[in-house]
Amino acid sequence: MAEARESGLPDGVPVDKPQDVRDALNAGADPRDVDAVVAAAKAARGKGAAGQQQVTKVCLIVDDSRVIRKVSSKIAKSLGYVPVEAQDGTEALARCKRAMPDLVLTDWDMPEMDGLEFVTHLRAIPTPKPPTVVFCTSKGKVEDIHAGIEAGADDYIVKPFDEGALRTKLEKLGRG
């Protein structure tokens, strides 16, 4: 029981591999988010055919709309990513400083810190493997796209988008 509290999980949640769970929590997993804890446990358990650890790809979804985050999470899961959510750029930046995701899908218009500022700060974080960043926003003017790419985004998709459109973007970026 002390081990569970030490890991940050609620009392009563068994922890067989506490370091793996801590890693998931450091990556921004909410300890009450059973799906994130299950994904971390599966990643810790999983071994490939050659006996190597399976690689878990993490997608950070940054949007102030809970509905958009949930839809985007569903799409990310279907593409093989473990989704982690943040409601604004400030929360997203804190998560990235704890553990850098593989992919970031970010909105532009958000309170606290907008997507443009978030991406600019994200790109200033020293990291051996920078994430792929895709703006997912309703801002579709040419000057907006240029500003997003200039801030450090790798690509841009205009809302509304579906799984096929996002899959195509990620395949183009080598992340599909």
Which class for 148: exposed (0-12), middle (13-18), buried (19 or more C-beta within 10 A)? buried
pLDDT score at 8: 41
Selection from 2-6, 148-152, 161-165 with the highest mean pLDDT: 148-152
Contact between 106 and 119 (Cβ < 8 Å): yes
Per-domain boundaries in the chain:
1-48, 56-172
Q: Which amino acid is at 141?
A: K
pLDDT tens, position by position, 106-151? 999 998 899 999 999 999 999 999 999 999 988 888 899 999 999 9
Q: Are 4 and 10 a contacting pair, CB within 8 Å?
A: yes
Tell me the per-residue pLDDT of 75-106, one tens digit each, with 9 for 90 and over.
899 888 999 999 999 999 999 999 999 999 99
Dist. CA 109–CA 145, nearest whole Å: 14
Residue 161: predicted pLDDT: 84
- As a whole-number percent, the residues of the chain with pLDDT over 70 amount to 68
pTM of the model: 0.69
Spatial contact of 93 and 119, defined as CB atoms under 8 Å apart = no
Answer yes or no: are the C-beta atoms of 58 and 101 closer than 8 Å.
yes
Digit-coded pLDDT (tens) for 48-73? 444 445 568 999 999 999 999 998 99
Q: Which CATH number fits domain 56-172: 3.30.390.30, 3.40.50.2300, 3.40.50.300, 3.30.710.10?
A: 3.40.50.2300
Q: Which residues of 136-145 are buried (b: 16+ CB within 10 A; e: fewer)?
A: bbebeeeebb
Q: Taking all residues of the chain, what is their mean pLDDT, rounded to a whole number? A: 79
Give the pLDDT band (50/70/90) at residue 26: low
pLDDT at 27: 60
